[in-house]
Amino acid sequence: KEVLNKNKISIIIFLSSTLISFILGELYFYSTRGIDYGKYQTYLRYFQGITESTGQGQGILYYYLIAFISDIRLSLLNNINLSSFLSSNIQILNMLLYLFGLRGFYIILKNYRFSTSVILYSFSFLNFFPPAFEMRLLMKPEIAAFAFLPWLVLLVDKLFQKFDYKYLALASVTASIIFTLKGSILGMVSLFLFIKYIKKIYLNRRRLIIFITVFVIIFFSIYIENFNVNQ
């Protein structure tokens, strides 16, 4: 009973902190005034049909999702609220990606036998941790890397536990999405995966070759699409 009460309290605190942090961002911060918005708004212009290419060098998935949400909420747009409309769409997508990432990290931490209450208290702190809070406010693809990274770790762990082509395909797609988001993300995540799995890679070289082959095919398929859009 005591454990159940602790879990209930931690759930309430987590949900409250998540909602409050989201509302604060919506009310007091315009994502369209963020440091990189002026540079990357060309992606939104492309998906709106205004330009024929972005002229940038990042992956298009994150920006496509913003444009997709904007299209869904188009009825809310008028002549005077364009900036707040786009800002809201960016923060809604970032929140959805953030929650998707938290779900993955929750599973990982449960696998390491952390209690539910400890995990949720940690996530409640993370909701207001400045770098994480900033990540949810700005139009930058790092939030997408945060969202997909724990799922990639879970899929790769499953592959090393039991080789399955379903997990192989999902891990390859997830890795390709992360690695095509941005060059710096590719470098950091690659280094992290190498350090984490270096011993397992040495013991499973045949599986590694199969994974790399499938990954390269999917990666370059996404890369070519990005290249065509970015020119």
**Interatomic CA distance for residues 219 and 106, integer angstroms:** 27
122: number of Cβ within 10 Å = 17
38-91 per-position pLDDT tens digit: 788 888 888 888 888 877 778 888 988 998 998 888 888 887 888 888 889 999
Residue 90 near residue 69, CB atoms below 8 Å: no
Could you tell me which of 12, 16, 8, 5 has the C-alpha nearest to residue 128?
Answer: 16
Tell me which residue of 153, 21, 161 sits closest to 94, measured CA to CA.
21
CB-count burial class (<10 Å; 0-12, 13-18, 19+) for 124? buried
Which pLDDT score, from 0 to 100, does residue 195 have?
Answer: 87
Q: 168-192 burial string, b = 16+ CB within 10 Å, else e? A: bebbbbbbbbbbbbbeebbeebeee
Q: d(Cα 166, Cα 155) in Å, to the nearest integer?
A: 10
Element (H, E) at 79: none
**CA quadruple 169, 225, 151, 86: dihedral sign:** negative
Question: pLDDT (tens digit, 0 to 9) for every residue of the chain, 231 residues total?
Answer: 556 677 889 999 999 999 999 999 999 888 888 777 878 888 888 888 888 887 777 888 898 899 899 888 888 888 788 888 888 999 999 999 999 999 999 999 999 999 999 999 999 999 999 999 999 999 899 999 999 999 999 998 888 888 788 888 898 899 999 998 888 898 999 898 888 887 776 656 677 777 778 888 888 888 888 888 877
Contact 172, 131 (CB under 8 A): no
